[in-house]
Structure 1
């Protein structure tokens, strides 16, 4: 990343705090000024000693300068530290907000562990470069200039000796800085690799144990950790060299000044007080030079962090708060039937109908405001028009011109061989992916024209693996509709047969379900996911193999629940079980990315050979064993 762009990004982070940083810089400069006054006071003290004058006043002045400088610099340091923490907080909030809105394909192309590393470790590195490095560079440079001016006014010959020595050593130090930058960036990338490996391991923890792969996974983490250690040591080595060069330059300068200055005192060209003051100034140079070296070193490390953060911020995100031209401004909020979507967003879809009551007891009139039309609450329609799709340009097409129309309400099942593109249909409806060609319409309107929040607020979605988040059971059930009433929650628990589970759990709905729902069975996790979707009272319900892990009793109960939901909303299911398919009002048979046939179970058994084979295989798989 070019230095100009890096500084532009850094300024964007510190801009809200620029006045506080400026105040801290002023305090630092005042502290530096008190330090510069100390050698002059020391010279005056030595001169008074030579003239047999009282030194009490000068001692008091020196003491005041030391105390005042310490207090002011401490206040400036506190302001910088506090501002640095604020910069990190703002950077993390901004980055997390962006990462959570990434497009699904971007997340699938990126390692989650590396993204987490950018939020945690990379933003931490902004602390120094965004405040201490900037202020250190400014104050260090000003203090260095002031010190050199005073030294030049006091003894120009000795100043030339000092600058000559420091220039030689400073040039060598400058060659080290690019190495620090390269090693720091490599170390940060290695830390991201550690996070990626650990995220993978904990995501498949039981599989690792069942496979006896703990040692192999540890070896992978060890390799990543050793890589981070190696690059970190390299960066530390070059930083140590840069730091030690400062002390070395001062020490060599001291010896040179002492030799040349002693000769000048002996020749009468200067006096002892001037030589002592000059030597004090020389040691005082350590502070501004150290600040400059530290600032440049921190910049090298911070620039690598800024580059990684900027890379994450350039990842494509979904639109937020978009509204089609001409859509009315929001004037009222929806009820639980549309998950609190803004009225103007939901109103954009045609087909207004009765709204659900908060407790799920029955319909109520849709809220309106001003001249806005009634909000759509009727079950949604779904249409695919010659839809083609592939996940990436270098991958084959998943859909090859998919066409179908699903009317409002009822249950539609999608069946077909693995890889036929069934789950992809749901991803295109939710706009997790954009169709490569053709159109996907909900309520007769292309999903690209829908405000994204309004579209998803109308949809309930249960994924294949039915994810359950860490937290309590209540947290998970209310995740998609946090303002649902207790009455609605109890009703959904009964419909999904989770009420018995809640009664059995030690803390009921407040029971912590563990990482990814580890304290629940597979079937319980599926029922929680279904209950979460039903509680939202969506206009369109997408169930992707939602009953695959249920036992026969609970599957029958959920079949009734799905059938009941299909009377109130449009339900789409991806199913392999014949028991689910036979309930459908219509079945869409997909094969190799195309719609092969659409019809009822009886029609397709008679008319479509592929569906007949799938149905026959399911009948054989689910048939009871013959009596021996």
Structure 2
């Protein structure tokens, strides 16, 4: 067996994918094809009507009948053409919409790991650019291939009726043209795919550079980044030029071949007229059919080129549809009763204050098969009330622990329990609805202040929003904005510290049962940090707060501090206990110049 499949085997999945986007709208496509076939039939009939008019003129007969039919046919063809192109335009727009909807839905259902494999700019390109190519292939080109084929076959049939011998000469030339075009098509398709891949890489690099534009400028790296991005731009241009050249060759072969075939038909037909084997009106009609044959043949070549581009787009879209997704369904017969019990427990809140809300039981996890474990044999119980802080050097496993809690990552061994129910028996939404999360980069969701604060809890009232903003010392800032809560947030009207406070406010609009904070005080001043610490203290009285901290000053007063190293929990206790018992914790405290005596006194 060869290293790669045949072109037919490689194309068939793309053909099926193209059809999968058309299928929901297949009746519109079928209707368009019927209209197109009627339009093609009208075009095929016209040269024969012209022959009848010529014969009537030659015989001194009235041409009123054939002329009236020809005029009516022209009007009918015009109406059919208008309806056909309008219907195909609507179908094309619908195909693009459904393709984009499918891809965007897949993105948001995909696992964090599968999303992180590709630059976000490339993922955006697949939704914006590839779907346009898919539109042309699945609607316009797909229908036109059928219509062009029918027009060609119908025209050839009429040419056969007029003069079989002359038809065979013309058909022989068309066969040679078609064979040459078929040889050139696969290479053009490969060039199209490589071009689109380069555009995706270009989008990814550009998006990343613009995201870090301040660092780029501060590092005086504008020229270097420009050149790095231009490498992908040049690569895209190279493949685009290659595809354009191949398309030009196809066009030249088809167009030139058609011209030669028509010229040969004219010369051979004139000879047959001179020999008395063909009437002049028959030759005129035959030549009209020959000229009428050129547009659908050229259109067919162009549509096949478009479909090759569509195949490349379909292949990239198929990659998106094959992205691993989070499992959203579980076995209802096994889990239903368990979930009911969990929900009842939530509403009644009868759990003892010291009962664990989250538990790790001998959990081991890694990011890829064969890689070093990011967590090793971790046993952990997070009380349903209180503040649990997690500290440790970079790479200790702190973020991995949060990823497991949020189900961004799955445990390889062991179990994670939510109030005694294994994660494996709970849907993703059921778990995440119990948690509120503030990530370290604290992105602002595109939209207004109000939509950001209601992002986790859409039903939050305006009073709850203002309470949350007041808690993080942002109330005055937002009230001073021109549109208040309806101010659209951008990178220019909020600072890094304000973004972080908005993220914290978003998490505490409704009191969460478990609040996960990944260094939530990294970019804020001391006064605001103190306010957030007050919020944490208040929330910890009725729920669980879990904090990942690189600034140990934010966790000194935690009820329990976990010290992590190399994927394990090496020590746990209060600040004073760990200062006495754990060398690594003392090193972390010393490195950050925290005054132990002052902290203990506080």
The TM-score normalised by the length of structure 1 is: 0.89
Relative to structure 1, the CA distance from residue 574 to residue 256 in structure 2 (aligned partners, 3 Å threshold; closer, same or farther) is same
**Superposition map of 1:196-595 within 5 A:** 196-322=204-330, 324-328=332-336, 347-348=341-342, 351-354=345-348, 381-515=357-491, 518-595=492-569
How far did residue 269 of structure 1 move? 1.2
**Equivalent pair of 1:323/1:451 in contact (CA under 8 Å):** no
Tell me, what secondary structure is at the counterpart of 1:384?
A: strand
**Superposition map of 1:42-81 within 5 A:** 42-81=50-89
Worse overlay, 225-234 or 311-320: 225-234
1:41-68 deviations in whole A, cap 9, x for unaligned? 1111111221122334433332222222
1:572-597 deviations in whole A, cap 9, x for unaligned? 01123333222111111111211111
**Equivalent pair of 1:190/1:224 in contact (CA under 8 Å):** yes
Report which of the two has the higher share of helix. Answer: 2
Q: Supply the distance in 2 between the matched residues of 1:52 and 1:228 (Cα, whole angstroms).
A: 65
Q: Supply the distance in 1 between the matched residues of 2:489 and 2:23 (Cα, whole angstroms).
A: 43
Number of equivalent positions = 590
Q: Paired residue for 2:97, among 89, 99, 103?
A: 89
**Equivalent pair of 2:353/2:385 in contact (CA under 8 Å):** no
**Equivalent pair of 1:39/1:281 in contact (CA under 8 Å):** yes
Give the CA RMSD over aligned residues.
2.3
Tell me, what secondary structure is at the counterpart of 1:3?
A: helix
Q: Supply the distance in 1 between the matched residues of 2:411 and 2:282 (Cα, whole angstroms).
A: 80
Q: Supply the distance in 1 between the matched residues of 2:351 and 2:576 (Cα, whole angstroms).
A: 37
Q: Supply the distance in 2 between the matched residues of 1:245 and 1:376 (Cα, whole angstroms).
A: 82
Q: Supply the distance in 2 between the matched residues of 1:266 and 1:220 (Cα, whole angstroms).
A: 69
How far did residue 540 of structure 1 move? 0.6
Tell me, what secondary structure is at the counterpart of 2:447?
A: coil
Q: Supply the distance in 1 between the matched residues of 2:71 and 2:355 (Cα, whole angstroms).
A: 82
Q: Supply the distance in 1 between the matched residues of 2:593 and 2:347 (Cα, whole angstroms).
A: 40
Tell me, what secondary structure is at the counterpart of 2:488?
A: coil
Q: Supply the distance in 2 between the matched residues of 1:377 and 1:205 (Cα, whole angstroms).
A: 48
Q: Supply the distance in 2 between the matched residues of 1:457 and 1:427 (Cα, whole angstroms).
A: 15
1:300-333 deviations in whole A, cap 9, x for unaligned? 111111111001110101123546434449xxxx
Tell me, what secondary structure is at the counterpart of 1:417?
A: coil
1:550-585 deviations in whole A, cap 9, x for unaligned? 211111111111100101110001123333222111
Worse overlay, 91-100 or 498-507: 498-507
**Equivalent pair of 1:493/1:499 in contact (CA under 8 Å):** yes
Relative to structure 1, the CA distance from residue 124 to residue 135 in structure 2 (aligned partners, 3 Å threshold; closer, same or farther) is same
How far did residue 511 of structure 1 move? 2.0
Tell me, what secondary structure is at the counterpart of 1:120?
A: helix
Give unpaired runs (5+ residues) of structure 1: 330-343, 356-373
Relative to structure 1, the CA distance from residue 148 to residue 379 in structure 2 (aligned partners, 3 Å threshold; closer, same or farther) is farther
Relative to structure 1, the CA distance from residue 268 to residue 541 in structure 2 (aligned partners, 3 Å threshold; closer, same or farther) is same
How far did residue 485 of structure 1 move? 0.9
Q: Supply the distance in 1 between the matched residues of 2:275 and 2:55 (Cα, whole angstroms).
A: 19
Q: Supply the distance in 1 between the matched residues of 2:156 and 2:59 (Cα, whole angstroms).
A: 28
**Equivalent pair of 1:387/1:435 in contact (CA under 8 Å):** yes
Give unpaired runs (5+ residues) of structure 2: 1-8
**Equivalent pair of 2:335/2:425 in contact (CA under 8 Å):** no
Tell me, what secondary structure is at the counterpart of 1:2?
A: helix
Relative to structure 1, the CA distance from residue 616 to residue 349 in structure 2 (aligned partners, 3 Å threshold; closer, same or farther) is farther
Q: Supply the distance in 2 between the matched residues of 1:509 and 1:63 (Cα, whole angstroms).
A: 65
Q: Supply the distance in 1 between the matched residues of 2:278 and 2:507 (Cα, whole angstroms).
A: 88
Tell me, what secondary structure is at the counterpart of 1:405?
A: strand
**Equivalent pair of 2:464/2:510 in contact (CA under 8 Å):** no
How far did residue 192 of structure 1 move? 0.5
1:121-177 deviations in whole A, cap 9, x for unaligned? 111111121122222222222222222121112101100110111222221111111
Relative to structure 1, the CA distance from residue 576 to residue 19 in structure 2 (aligned partners, 3 Å threshold; closer, same or farther) is closer
